[in-house]
Amino acid sequence: MSDSKNRPLVLILCTGNSCRSQMAEAILQKAAGDSLRVESAGSKPSGYVHPLSIKACHEIGLDLSSARSKSLEEFLNQEVETVITVCGNANQVCPTFPGLARRYHWPFEDPAHAEGSEEEQMEFFRQIRDEIDRVFSAYGLGRRDSLA
């Protein structure tokens, strides 16, 4: 299943595609291996990936340094098998995708709104990263096993 065109596409949506969905994309892709094609996008993409998201993922061995903030419009004409929204706004504006088999809403707080010192903000990013990791790793391992 290494050909990405033949793997089911899981699209993770949030508003800005700068924090939560980027972390979820990397975590899910690692857990699912080559059984799924995982992408993330935003309903109103921020145009950047938050530096603390990059740092938080780096701490657990995931490289977001080349990630980019994408619009969900890039995926409207693709066959998306599963959509997972990670914020309420994205859940409300989520379009219908051709071929959609599954749709989940797993909300997480937005670490981009963390206040305080950089270390306090980083602690919040780690907390959200770890929550995302628990949910998306379990989902990815389950999907990998079911597709094997």
Write down the domain spans for the chain. Answer: 4-138
Does the annotation mark 19 as catalytic?
Answer: no
What is the structure's pLDDT at 88?
83
Q: Rounded mean pLDDT of 37-58? A: 96
Superfamily designation of domain 4-138: Response regulator (3.40.50.2300)
Q: Rounded mean pLDDT of 122-133? A: 98
Residue with tokens 């602690």: 123
Range of lowest pLDDT (3-17, 84-98, 124-138) = 84-98
pLDDT digits (tens, 9 = 90+) for 79-121: 999 999 999 887 787 777 877 789 999 999 999 999 999 999 9
Beta strands in the chain (DSSP E): 9-14, 37-42, 82-85, 102-105
What is the structure's pLDDT at 3?
61
Does the annotation mark 57 as catalytic?
Answer: no
Contacts of 47 (CB under 8 A, 6+ apart): 69
On the question of pLDDT at 125 being above 90, the answer is yes
Catalytic residue from among 24, 94, 112, 135: 94
Catalytic residue from among 9, 12, 14, 31: 14
Does the annotation mark 94 as catalytic?
Answer: yes
List the structure tokens of 46.
């921020």
Contacts of 74 (CB under 8 A, 6+ apart): 41
The percent of residues in the chain predicted with pLDDT above 70, rounded, is 97
pLDDT band at 4 (very low <50, low <70, confident <90, very high): low
Q: Rounded mean pLDDT of 2-24? A: 89
Quick one: DSSP state of residue 94? P
What is the structure's pLDDT at 1?
44
Catalytic residue from among 11, 83, 87, 90: 87
What is the structure's pLDDT at 50?
97
Amino acid symbol at 142 = G
pTM given for the model: 0.93
On the question of pLDDT at 136 being above 60, the answer is yes
Report the C-alpha gap between 66 and 141 in whole angstroms: 24
